[in-house]
Structure 1
C-alpha cells in the first residue's frame, strides 16, 4: 500500500497527525492504528509514550476514539458549525483526567516551556497531550488555517501554509492535475473516423 507523505501542518500539530491516521486511499480505507502494536508504534514514534509501553486493545480503542473526537471538532471548526457538546466534553475529559506537566526546558539556547508526560499512567498522559495539542490547534494561531484537502475522495485535514493551498500534499495536488490533464486531453482529441 502506497502511503502518502504527511499532510501539510502535521509537523506543527501532533493532534492533526493523529486525525490523519485514518483516511481513504484510491485502493480503499487506511487505518494506521488498527491494532495495539500499531497504536504503540505511533505513540512512541512521536515521543508521546515510552518505548516499552504495554498497550492493550482497550487503550488502542481509546486512542482511536480521541482521534475521531478531534476529527469531528476540527471539521466543525473548518465548517464554522457548532460542535457536538459530547465531543468537547470528551476532549476536556482526556485533558482533565491526567493533565500534562508544564516544565521548563533549558538545555541549550533560550528557555522554553514544554509539555511532558509524567512517567506514571503513560497512555492517559499521551491522550492528555494529544487533547491539549488539539485544543491549541482549535484556538491558537493556526486555527484559521485548518482545512480539509480539496482532492476528491481525500479525507485528510491540513494546516494551509498559504491561502491558495488546497491539497494536503504534493501527491494529492499531482493527482488533481493529472486528472485535469487527462480530462482536457480527452476533450480536445480529434474524433476518429
Structure 2
C-alpha cells in the first residue's frame, strides 16, 4: 500500500477518475501482465459491449495505484507526476502485444514477431543496477537506465509478461471458457474453467435454461 503524501496525490486522481464512473476490470490479482491485458473486457455477457478501463491517462494512474504493491519503486516521481498521453499509448501498445501472445500461447501457436518485439523493447525500460551510495546511504542505491518513472513501470509490466510467457507458469495460462468473455487467468486448480465465479454462474444458468427448453 502506498503511504503518506503519495497516497493523497494518487487517491485524489483516483477519486476524480472514479467520479467519471470508470469501469473496473472484473478480474484482478493475476500476474501484472495479465492484469494489464484484462483491462479490456466485455460487460454484459455474450451480447455485452467491449469496455476499456485504460481510456485516459487518469485511468492509467488509477490502475498503477491499484497495483503499487507489485510495482518497483523506480525513479522518484511516478506517484507525484500524472501520467501523460505518451505513457497511456505505451501501456496500451504493450497490452495489445501481450494479449496476442497470450492468445497464441493458449492456442499453442507460434508467437507473433511484432508482438514479441513490443514486449522485449518495453522490458528493456526496467534495466537497473546497484551502486554504492554516499556517506549517509549505507545500503546500495538502485539506478535506472530509463529516467521516466512511468516508463520504468511499463518495463516492469513487460518483464512480468516475459516471466509469464517464457516460464513454467505458461502451462497454466488459460482463456476464460465462458462465451463472450475475453479475459485470461493463470489456473489455480485443475478444475478452474472461468475467470471469475460470475462467468461460471452465467454459463450454468444458460445451460439450465437450454435443458428446460429441450
Per the normalisation by structure 2, the TM-score is: 0.73
Q: Which has the higher helix share?
A: 2
CA gap 1:3/1:60 in 2 versus in 1, 3 angstroms: closer
Q: 1:117 to 1:70 in 2, by over 3 A?
A: farther
Q: 2:204 aligns with which of 177, 180, 184?
A: 177
Q: Secondary structure at the match of 1:30?
A: strand
Deviations 1:11-30 (A, max 9, x none): 34111100000011223111
Task: Measure the CA separation in 2 of the matches of 1:119 and 1:51.
Answer: 16
Tell me the residue number matched to 2:38: 20
How far did residue 100 of structure 1 move? 4.1
Find the aligned partners of 2:193 and 2:29 in 1 and give their Cα distance.
18
1:191 maps to none
Q: Distance in 2 between matches of 1:169 and 1:184?
A: 23
Q: How many residues align?
A: 172
Q: Which runs of 5+ in 1 are unaligned?
A: 104-114, 188-193
**CA shift at 1:124, angstroms?**
1.2
Is 2:54 aligned against 1:33?
Answer: yes
Q: Deviations over 1:112-140 (max 9, x none)?
A: xxx99789411110111001000000122
Conserved in 2, the CA contact under 8 Å of 1:100 and 1:129? no
Contact 1:40-1:53 within 8 A present in 2 as well? no
- After superposition, the Cα gap between the structure-2 partners of 1:70 and 1:162, relative to the gap in structure 1 and judged at 3 Å, is same
Q: RMSD across aligned C-alpha pairs, in angstroms?
A: 2.4
Pairing 1:53–2:53 present: no
Q: Summarize the alignment of residues 1-193 of structure 1 with structure 2, pairs less than 5 Å apart.
A: 5-6=26-27, 10-26=28-44, 27-47=48-68, 48=71, 50-96=78-124, 98-101=125-128, 120-187=147-214
The structure, 1 or 2, with the larger RCO (C-alpha pairs under 8 Å, 6+ apart) is 1
Q: Which runs of 4+ in 1 moved over 3 A?
A: 1-5, 100-103, 115-120
